[in-house]
Amino acid sequence: MITKRIIPCLDVRDGRVVKGVNFEGLRDVNSPVALAEYYSSCGADELVFYDITASAEGRRLFTDILRETAKRVFIPLTVGGGINTTDDFDRVLKCGADKVSVNSGAIRNPNLIAEAARLYGSQCVVLSADIKRVDGVFRVFARGGRDNTGLEAIDWIRRAVDNGAGEIVVNSIDTDGVKKGFDLEMLQAVCAAVSVPVIASGGAGCIEDFITLFNAVPGVDAGLAASIFHFGEVKIADLKNEMARCGIPARR
Amino acid sequence: MIGIIDYGVGNLFSLQSSFAAIGCEAVVSGDREQLRKADRLILPGVGAFEDAARQLRESGLDSFVKDAAAAGTPIMGICLGMQMLFEKSLEFGEHKGLGLLKGTVVPMAGRIDPTLKIPHIGWNSLHMTKESPLFAYTPEGTHVYFVHSFFADGCEDSLIAETEYSIPITAAVQKDNVYGCQFHPEKSGAAGLQILRAFCGEVKA
C-alpha cells in the first residue's frame, strides 16, 4: 500500500540552513548537506530545500549545496524559492532537484506552470500556495505571505492543476507557527477540488497532529514541517512508529 | 563500468551519483563507442513515451540497445526507460517500444480505484513474484519510490515484482539479461542503492 509521506523542509540562505537546528551528534547544524543526510537516514520520505537568498552570490552557493546534497542523498528532493522562469527550473534540475516548487513566480507569470510542465513533465512541477482566510474566503498570498493577491485559493489551485501542476503544497498562514495542528478545513476543501497529491503544511506541533491530519483528511498524501523536526520536538522515527501503530501506512 | 544511456531525456545526475555512492564507475553518454565499453547498461527515461521513444530512435541508440540486449549485455530500464522495453505503449495513442519484453504499457486511469490519485507518486512496497538476482539484497515488502501514470500489462513472463495500488501494478521485470524497474532505485534511499548494487554485482555480465 502506498504510504503517507513525511517531509522536512529546510530554509537555506547563502548556502546555509537558517535558524539552525538542535540535534545531538550533528557537528555542523547549519550545513544543508549534513542535515539532508541526517534526515534521509532517519526515515524522511522526501526533502524540501527552500532558498530564501536574495543575492546572485547566494543563489550560486545554493546550487552548489544542492549539487553536493544530490550526490549524497538518494530520496526525492524538491526545491523552492526564487523560481520565476523555466530557466530557474533548469538551473535547479541540473543540480539534482527532482521537483521544483513554484509560488509567487506562478502568480506573476501565469504561463510558468504550463511551460514547465510541458518541458519537464507534471511530476516535476509543484504548486506551493500560501493561503489565509480573509472575510471567510480562502485567499492566496504572495511574497512569503505578505501580499494578498485577491485570488480565490481553490480556484487558483484548480487552474494550476489544469495547467499541469503535479502536486500541491497547501500552506495555511492561519495555522502556520501556531503549533496547534494542521488546517483540516482548508485541506479538506483543496482535496475535494483536485485529484493530484496534496501536501499539508503549517501548524504541526506534535506527533498527534500528523495522526489527526491523516485520519481526518484521507485525501492528504503528505505532511510537511520545519522547526518541530529541526528542534527535535518530533523525531521522524517516532512519528513513523506512531503512524504504523494507528494503522496509517508509513515507510519505516 | 556502467553505461548510462543519454539520449537527451531527463536528468541523469542522481543516477550517476547513486552509482558513485556504491562504488561503481558509471559514465553518462550518448556515444555508442563509449557505451560499448560498458559491461552493463542503464536505460533511463522520464516524461512522455512518444517523445522519449522518438528521441531514442533519432539518436540511433534504439538499435544500439537492441544489439546490446541480443549480445547478452545486462541492461536495466528505469521508469519510462523500463516501459520502452515493451512492445508498445497506449500512452496518448499507440506507440511502438523496443520490443525486448512481451507486454503493453497501459494507463492507470480506468483500471485502478477511481478514488486513488494519478500519478501514483510516493513510496510503495514490493511484492516479489519470482526470484531474481536484482533482488538479491531486497526483502519482500521493501518500500521504493514510484512516480508514474502508466504501467506494463500482459508481462507475466518477465514479471519479478509488483506493487499494490488497488490492483497489482508491475514494479519490476526480468527476462534473461533484460531488466526493468518502474520505480526509481536512485530515489529509493538505502533500499534503492541495494538494488543498484545487485545489478552491478549479482547480475552476471
pLDDT of B36 over the 90 cut: yes
Q: How many CB atoms lie within 10 A of CB A238?
A: 12
Q: With an 8 Å Cβ cutoff, are B14 and A93 in contact?
A: no
So what's the pLDDT on residue A249? Answer: 97
Helix, strand or coil, per DSSP, at residue A169:
strand
Show residues of chain A in contact with B189, CB under 8 Å: 40, 74-75
Q: With an 8 Å Cβ cutoff, are B186 and A74 in contact?
A: yes
Q: With an 8 Å Cβ cutoff, are A196 and B21 in contact?
A: no
So what's the pLDDT on residue B4? Answer: 97
Pairwise pLDDT comparison (A136 vs A60), residue with the higher score: A136
Quote ipTM for the complex: 0.91
pLDDT of A54 over the 60 cut: yes
Show residues of chain A in contact with B55, CB under 8 Å: none
User: Quick one: cell of A226?
Assistant: 520545519
Cα Dmax for chain A: 47
What value does the mean pLDDT take over residues A93-111? 93
Show residues of chain B in contact with A44, CB under 8 Å: none
User: Quick one: cell of A203?
Assistant: 501548524
Instruction: Using CB atoms, pick whichever of B13, B18, B145 lies closest to residue A76.
Output: B145
Size of interface A-B (CB pairs under 8 A): 82
Strands (E), A73-210: 77-80, 99-102, 125-134, 137-142, 147-152, 167-172, 198-201
So what's the pLDDT on residue A156? Answer: 98
Residue A28's pLDDT band (boundaries 50, 70, 90)? low
**Average of per-residue pLDDT values in chain A:** 92
pLDDT of B177 over the 60 cut: yes
DSSP A143: T
pLDDT tens profile A173-230:
999 988 999 999 999 999 999 999 999 999 999 999 999 999 999 999 999 998 899 8
Q: With an 8 Å Cβ cutoff, are A2 and B124 in contact?
A: yes
- Listed in sequence order, the residues at least 6 apart from B69 whose beta carbon sits closer than 8 Å to its beta carbon are B75, B98, B100, B177, B178
pLDDT of B72 over the 70 cut: yes
pLDDT of B23 over the 70 cut: yes
Q: Is B188 on the interface with A (CB under 8 A)?
A: yes
pTM of the model: 0.94
- Listed in sequence order, the residues at least 6 apart from B165 whose beta carbon sits closer than 8 Å to its beta carbon are A2, B108, B112, B116, B120, B124
Instruction: Using CB atoms, pick whichever of B14, B119, B122 lies closest to residue A3.
Output: B122
Q: Which residues of B are catalytic?
A: 79, 184, 186
Show residues of chain B in contact with A167, CB under 8 Å: 121
Rounded Cα distance between B38 and B40, Å, is 5
Q: With an 8 Å Cβ cutoff, are A123 and B186 in contact?
A: no
Q: What is the dihedral of CA B194, B15, B120, A235, to 10 degrees?
A: 60
Nearest to A24 by CA among A38, A10, A37: A38
Q: Is B147 on the interface with A (CB under 8 A)?
A: yes
Smallest CA–CA separation between A61 and chain B, in Å? 18
What value does the mean pLDDT take over residues A137-152? 93
- Listed in sequence order, the residues at least 6 apart from A50 whose beta carbon sits closer than 8 Å to its beta carbon are A9, A10, A11, A12, A79, A80, A81
**Cα dist from B29 to A114, B4, B35, B39, B55, whole Å:** 30, 6, 7, 14, 14
Closest residue, chain A, to B166 (C-alpha): A1
Q: Is B183 on the interface with A (CB under 8 A)?
A: no
So what's the pLDDT on residue A19? Answer: 63
Smallest CA–CA separation between B124 and chain A, in Å? 4
pLDDT tens profile A226-242:
889 988 899 999 999 99
So what's the pLDDT on residue A13? Answer: 86
Q: With an 8 Å Cβ cutoff, are A2 and B14 in contact?
A: no
Residue A26's pLDDT band (boundaries 50, 70, 90)? low
So what's the pLDDT on residue A31? Answer: 85
Burial of B157 (0-12, 13-18, 19+ CB in 10 A): exposed
CA atoms within 13 A on the CB side of A111: 4
Q: With an 8 Å Cβ cutoff, are A5 and B193 in contact?
A: no
Smallest CA–CA separation between A150 and chain B, in Å? 29
Rounded Cα distance between A84 and A78, Å, is 15
Pairing of strands A147-152, A77-80: unpaired
Q: With an 8 Å Cβ cutoff, are B186 and A72 in contact?
A: no
Q: Which residues of A are catalytic?
A: 11, 130
Choose the most confident range, by mean pLDDT, from A16-30, A66-80, B166-180: B166-180
Interface test with A, best of B17, B80, B146 (most A CBs within 10 A): B17
Q: What is the dihedral of CA A12, A14, A15, A17, to 10 degrees?
A: -40
Show residues of chain A in contact with B13, CB under 8 Å: 67, 70, 94-96
pLDDT of A21 over the 80 cut: no
Residue type, A59: R
So what's the pLDDT on residue A163? Answer: 96
Q: With an 8 Å Cβ cutoff, are A221 and B21 in contact?
A: no
CA atoms within 13 A on the CB side of B181: 25
Q: Is B123 on the interface with A (CB under 8 A)?
A: yes
What value does the mean pLDDT take over residues A122-128? 94
Q: What angle do CA A17, A21, A23 make, to 5 degrees?
A: 135
So what's the pLDDT on residue A60? Answer: 86
